[in-house]
């Protein structure tokens, strides 16, 4: 169980409004024999480890590594909606299609989606670049770029189409990934040189551009974290992304990074 204290800034007007409404309806129910039924609005969060919160600690399980500090948990608290937290570490688009859509219905209010990096093999690319063979690194990056150009758009199109079919009334928000590096080297970057970091960042840009384009085709909003995370990458003075840790948490947002994601995502989920 998480021992993290709730952040005061995470308690938004939506939560207060829901609490006030419940209090009013409770008073009415006590004064009248008529009963009232409240249907709690639902938010479904699907995707990979950047959504589940790998790197942010306080994990609910050891299979999907869903963190109590992940942005879907924080966002659901702020907007006052029941969270179906289906994101899972290591998930690909096919995994999301097969395992994470069960809670999408025509009553779903909000959906956030973050997936695609595992399909492009980013974990393998980082492994290739962590050695001393620059040619191997650059070849792996080129392979990821080819996948993102040639195959990922269709995979994302299939997923987004299915999400809309299952949750036809929901507001759907696609959430992207930041660049990992700022061009500096430290223990956390292993042997990834500034040149290789630049190539990896360029691949992250292609992932963002590809994902944003398919999201736009479906009329979905796209949350782009790249500018917000600038200056907070691996090796920075105030890192929001972990470097190499020797665990699956390597190169994932830490708790501060998930807080930053929350600040970016919540405005897309709030009502006007």
Residue 270: predicted pLDDT: 84
Q: Dump pLDDT digits (tens) for 148-193.
A: 999 999 999 999 999 999 999 999 999 999 999 999 899 999 999 9
CATH number of the domain at 41-269, out of 3.40.47.10, 3.40.50.1110, 3.10.440.10, 3.40.50.80? Answer: 3.40.50.1110
The SS3 assignment for 26 reads helix
Q: What are the strands, taking DSSP E only, across the chain?
A: 42-47, 82-85, 108-114, 171-175, 221-223
Q: Dump pLDDT digits (tens) for 39-94.
A: 679 999 999 999 999 999 999 999 999 999 999 999 999 999 999 999 999 999 99
Cross-sheet strand order for the sheet of 221-223: 82-85, 42-47, 108-114, 171-175, 221-223
Domain residue limits, the chain: 11-38, 41-269
> Which comes out higher in pLDDT, residue 118 or 4?
118
Question: What distance in Å separates the CA atoms of residue 167 and residue 180, rounded to the nearest whole number?
Answer: 33
Catalytic residue numbers?
49, 252
Helix axes 194-217, 134-150, angle to 10 degrees: 10
pTM of the full predicted structure? 0.86
Residue 40: predicted pLDDT: 79
């Amino acid at each position: 169980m998480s021992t993290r204290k709730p952040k005061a800034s995470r308690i938004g007007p939506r939560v207060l409004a829901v609490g006030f409404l419940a209090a009013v309806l409770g008073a009415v129910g006590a004064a009248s024999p008529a009963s009232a039924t409240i249907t709690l609005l639902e938010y479904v969060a699907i995707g990979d480890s950047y959504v589940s919160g790998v790197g942010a600690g306080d994990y609910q399980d050891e299979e999907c590594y869903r963190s109590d500090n992940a942005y879907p948990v924080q966002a659901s608290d702020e907007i006052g909606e029941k969270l179906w937290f289906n994101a899972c570490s290591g998930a690909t688009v096919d995994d999301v299609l097969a395992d994470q859509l069960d809670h999408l219905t025509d009553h779903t209010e909000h959906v956030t989606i973050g997936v695609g990096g595992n399909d492009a093999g980013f974990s393998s690319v980082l492994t290739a670049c962590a050695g001393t063979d620059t040619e191997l690194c650059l070849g792996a990056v080129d392979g990821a770029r080819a996948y993102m150009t040639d195959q990922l758009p269709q995979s994302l199109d299939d997923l987004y189409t299915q999400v809309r079919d299952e949750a036809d009334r929901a507001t759907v928000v696609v959430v992207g990934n930041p660049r990992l590096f700022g061009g500096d080297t430290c223990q956390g970057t292993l042997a990834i040189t500034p040149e290789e970091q630049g190539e990896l960042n360029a691949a992250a840009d292609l992932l963002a551009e590809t994902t944003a384009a398919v999201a736009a085709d479906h009329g979905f909003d796209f949350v782009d974290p790249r500018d917000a995370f600038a200056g907070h990458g691996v090796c920075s003075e105030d890192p929001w992304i972990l470097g190499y840790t020797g665990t699956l948490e390597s190169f994932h947002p830490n708790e501060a990074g998930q807080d930053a994601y929350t600040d970016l995502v919540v405005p897309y989920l709030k009502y006007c």
